[in-house]
Amino acid sequence: MPGGTTERPMRADARRNYERIVATAKDLFATQGADVPLDDVAKKAGVGAGTLYRHFPTREKLFEAVYRDEITVLADRAFVLHDELGPWEALEAWLLAQVTWVVERHKLATILKESIDAGSETFVYCQKHLREATGTLVEAAQEAGLVRQDVTGADVLRLGHGAGMAVRNCTPEDGKRVLDVILDGLRATP
């Protein structure tokens, strides 16, 4: 969704077009790379080039929207897990979801991160949203006495990212073992 607090709400048809463009761009960037022609994005999304450029006047703005959408979906998963599972199970499922995202979306994430300034509103939003989501899970597990008190949500994000990068070319069994080691390191000692 577009960032900023001063924007007018979109009409329903404009919102649908925006969402179709972002979803299509995400798929095309992941499969064809960052240089895919924007006219191809518009065509596959079923909108005219003018509609695409009205929403995204530059390729960078489209990259930002795709990255924001990817991170929002990932972070929102943590809140769903928090509501549906116990504290340890939610943290474990979140770490697995994060590692899976890093493994599956590494190429897309690299393209998007390289195109977005680290101090941009989008980057700051994404970092803040991920840290809040992960922090919620860590705090719940700490309150339940299951996770070490010196662990932060940012620590878990770094561990998940590192694990994802480390297991990209490993077997599922090796990836599971890496996650188990991380989870054991997060556990509070009795």
Same domain, yes or no, for 43 and 70? no
Q: Token digits for 47?
A: 């909108």
Same domain, yes or no, for 28 and 95? no
Same domain, yes or no, for 82 and 167? yes
pLDDT value of residue 161: 87
Per-residue pLDDT of the chain (190 residues; tens, 9 = 90+): 454 445 667 788 888 989 999 999 988 887 887 788 999 999 999 999 999 999 999 888 888 888 888 889 999 999 999 999 999 999 999 999 988 888 877 666 666 667 666 677 877 888 899 999 999 999 999 999 999 999 999 999 999 988 988 888 888 788 888 999 999 999 998 7
Same domain, yes or no, for 148 and 79? yes
Q: Give Cβ neighbours of residue 55 (< 8 Å, ≥ 6 apart).
A: 2, 14, 17, 18, 21, 61, 65
Q: Token digits for 79?
A: 């809140």
Distance separating alpha carbons of residues 114 and 124, to the nearest angstrom = 14
Same domain, yes or no, for 94 and 14? no
pLDDT value of residue 118: 67
Distance separating alpha carbons of residues 75 and 69, to the nearest angstrom = 10
Domain that residue 163 falls in: 58-186
DSSP 10: P
Amino acid at residue number 176: K
Number of separate domains in the chain: 2
pLDDT value of residue 4: 47
* Among 127, 139, 123, residue whose Cα is nearest residue 64: 123
pLDDT value of residue 121: 82
pLDDT value of residue 5: 46
pLDDT value of residue 103: 81
Same domain, yes or no, for 63 and 53? no
R_g (Cα) of the chain, nearest Å: 18
pLDDT value of residue 156: 94
Give the Å distances, CA to CA, from 173 to 79, 137, 182.
27, 25, 14
* Among 96, 92, 107, 76, residue whose Cα is nearest residue 163: 96
- Whether 130 and 122 have beta carbons less than 8 Å apart is answered as no
CATH number of the domain to which 126 belongs: 1.10.357.10
Same domain, yes or no, for 50 and 67? no
